[in-house]
Amino acid sequence: MKATWAIIANPLAGTRSKSSSWKEIRRILSDAGLSFEIFFTQSAGHAETLAQELVAQGFDRIAVLGGDGTFSEMVNGLMSLPQRSESLEIGVLPFGTGNDWGRYWGLDRDLKKSARALAASHTTMIDIGKITFHGSDKDEVRYFDNAFGMGFDAKVVALSERMQRLFKGHSWTYSLAVLMSIFANRSQTMRFVLPDTEWEHLVYTVSVGNGRYTGGGIKQTPQADATDGMLDIMAMENLSLAKIAKGVRLLFTGRLLEHPSVHTWRTAGFTVASEKGIYTELDGILHEPVLSLEVELLPQALRFVCP
């Protein structure tokens, strides 16, 4: 195994000024005792192919300096490889806006802290979610490490993206997008088929968690465990305006599961179908709507460096 870390860096992650220079970032990483090379992404989606290229170059340690989206792209690149070395290790240096995956592991935008954790190289095997989207022309497979959402959840991400282009680096844009999306989202009938049950209902929003946080610290699946071989599903029925207001209040206080319209399941796999296109987001990355999708959890899929 190479001792050197290949660090995939998003040069725009979480920044709204030039105050954090790359010279200073390199110094912090070096002071933590890391041997590393930095590889910058050039566009959205580049981290996926870059991760595969780094494996081909012989790197067995690959980390992301950036946000949830860049880390998810790296995961997709690695999971799409026909073969992966058992010695492959991955890590994260949270430096984005939401940083929900890092938050789950007790890491924040304190680069010194996350660099020390990466240098310590304590690892655990993490589960990875796999989604097969059944499109009209062909199927497509994507992966997620933290969470994916449908309905309202995806609409929020779409609006948040637009706002981030205007207010770069501000985490409050997600919270504002939540409030604005209340008036833009429309419930739709979805049919869930799980190993032990089937459920069909007019659904307002769905969040499926491998991790516990979404949207910069919001707990939609507060009991999720990325190492237990199970996914946590939170589905909320169609809501009146009054129930929406209650849901928003519970959402921002970490008590969403107390809402009477919420249904929860824990499972390693399920399918969802609808007569209308299902809007989805994976780790904050939007996907084109499809009529059906299949979800499977892959246990102990990647070796992750954690505190």
pTM: 0.90
Strands 89-94 and 61-66: parallel
The stretch 102-130 carries a mean pLDDT of 95
d(CA 219, CA 156): 15
Q: What is the model's pLDDT at position 106?
A: 95
Q: What is the model's pLDDT at position 96?
A: 83
The tens digit of pLDDT for each residue in 190-204 reads 999 999 999 999 998
The stretch 254-258 carries a mean pLDDT of 75
The stretch 129-134 carries a mean pLDDT of 98
Give the CA distances from residue 164 to residues 156, 183, 307, in Å, rounded to whole numbers and listed in that order.
12, 19, 30
* pLDDT category of residue 16 using cuts at 50, 70 and 90: very low
The tens digit of pLDDT for each residue in 192-246 reads 999 999 999 999 899 999 999 987 888 899 999 999 999 999 998 887 666 666 6
Question: Based on the number of CB atoms within 10 Å of its own CB, is 17 exposed (0-12), middle (13-18) or buried (19 or more)?
Answer: exposed
Domain 5-121, CATH: 3.40.50.10330
Nearest to 267 by CA among 202, 211, 212, 208: 208
List beta partners, residue 7. 38, 63
Nearest to 66 by CA among 53, 58, 75: 75
- At the second CATH level, the architecture of 129-299 is Sandwich (2.60)
DSSP string of 47-89, one letter each residue: HHHHHHHHHHTT--EEEEEE-HHHHHHHHHHHHTSS---TT-E
Mean pLDDT, rounded, of the chain: 88
A 10 A CB-CB count for 136 gives 7
The tens digit of pLDDT for each residue in 46-82 reads 999 999 999 999 999 999 999 999 999 999 999 999 9
Establish how many alpha carbons lie within 13 A of residue 68's alpha carbon, considering only the half-sphere containing its beta carbon. Answer: 31
Higher pLDDT, 103 or 10: 103
Phi, psi of 47 (to 5 degrees): -60, -25
List beta partners, residue 269. 296
A 10 A CB-CB count for 245 gives 12
* pLDDT category of residue 134 using cuts at 50, 70 and 90: very high
- Domain segments of the chain: what residues? 5-121, 129-299
* Max Cα-Cα span within the chain: 57
